[in-house]
Structure 1
Amino acid sequence: SIPMGVRKNTPKVAEEGRVHIVKAGETLYGISRKYKVKVDQIKKWNNLQSESLNIDQRISIGKQLEADEILEESLPFPGARKHFVQTSETLEQISAKRNVSMDSLKKWNNLRSNDLRIGQIIWYRNYDRSSEPMTVKEVFGKKIEQGVAKQIEDMEDTDKYLALHKTLPSGTLLEVRNLMNNKKVFVRVVGQLPAAGLNENVIVRLTPKSFKRLGILDARAQVEITYYDD
């Protein structure tokens, strides 16, 4: 029995909206019993699609956990944000949706394969490289450029794999690689890309068919182009 005047040491009620840090061996059922709430409530508060948990995962109890309530020191890396894996969602789709490379996602989340499970937390960081200057290097006689690609606008014949480049002559064959998913396509330069205005930070413009082949879903993408500069 508990002596009079001594309050029993029970967890805070759900209405206070606290955060529980998952420990090894803990389950959603066990956490729900601890805080006297239902498993479905915890899943709703945390947008969980399954009952799978990770060690050190932050579980909100009592309210939806907002982004600004996540303490910086609790994040796996500065500026980290959460993505919850949905049904049938792949790492490639998350890469395209969050505009980060698959290699970065695997590194940040210690993934050894591309296999994912529903409800799994994938940490990512928003990083806009659109204002970065183009990088150029030469390897075994090949020129390699990395930077932003956009679509060609107002071109009559767009059902081909074509490109506009700032310096390369028409007829030059380029290998273009999408840095987000490693998909590649060969395109032929058919004209010069003006260096000013909307093309200031763009290294190449591609036809819509080329964008589709590369799996680019947005208006721009980070690409690598390889060619021989005779």
Structure 2
Amino acid sequence: MPLLFAGWLSSIVTQAHPFRLDSLGMEKKDGKLFVLHRVEQGQTLYSLVRKYNTTVQAIKDANPGMAENFRYDQVVRVPAGNLSRKEEKAVTKALKQEEKELKREEREVKQETVKEANSGIHQVEPGQTLYSLAARYGVSMDDVRKWNNLSSDHIVSGQPLIVSEKAWRVREPLAKPVTVPAHRSDSSADMARTSRNDSPKTERPSPPRTNSAPREEPARPSETDRPATEPTTSVPSEPRIIRPGDTGPLPNPGGNARRVSEIGLAEIIENSNSSNKYLGLHRTVPVGTLVLVRNDMNQQSIWVKIIGRLPDTSVNDKVIVKISARAFEKLSPVDRRFRAEVSYLAP
């Protein structure tokens, strides 16, 4: 969904616009313009109504399911109803222009990626991470670590990295020759078989037969004569302990617990490349809960610990969970997002 930052609009609506734009900027959804406002400490629903000269119902309609009690750092969509027709056209035009610029930048990045992929060497630029480079070149983070002898995910600007297996093999020393055990030729095998077949066979004499009387087997005790066996008591198995990073299935709910599952998109938590933990963000799951995230495409699954709330913004409309880079690498080392099923046990 096109998102326009405040810097793009400052020259368009600063003088004529009756309210000050939030630093997050504006977006267009279903043909309507909205201001994206990040809630500050102490702000309430009614303070936003006064700030943007709108109504409580208008803000509620723009944010379905939103509670009246705001939380700090929450992003709220506010209708930009005070824009004149001229300003609205200017904003729409700026949004389209930004979308064109983004597409142009994407084309340039793809062309540069193809060029660097041919050489197999990438020069790290400011802000790039090991995960972003692995996703860019369609390889796994484990491969990049192996090709460059990295002991961690930390990389620095200006560092050259091998990003293709072809470039890595060219730079690796020649592998040691593999010795294959010699096999006998067909002729020698045939000779061996012939010699075995031509050797004289000696028959063993059969033991003498004796006409002995048949043995009488002792009578088996009847079922009533057998001593009663003591009933065996089954020892209940210990409950399985689940930890973040495990790949086991969801255990059977016991007691009053129930299984909860939902399907949607999974994305990576921004700026989580430095963490080696398996963490996640979710809208409703209580903080501290372990949830099982499964990639519907490759059926890989992993347990992550929920550490916070997923921001309720338009860009996250179809996203049900965000996970750390370490967990994302295990489930989807190439794609930026994937269709996932999130399951957990709730009381």
Per the normalisation by structure 1, the TM-score is 0.38
Structure ranking higher in helix proportion = 2
Report the structure number with the largest CA radius of gyration. Answer: 2
Structure ranking higher in strand proportion = 1
Which structure ranks higher in relative contact order (CA pairs < 8 Å, sequence separation ≥ 6)?
1
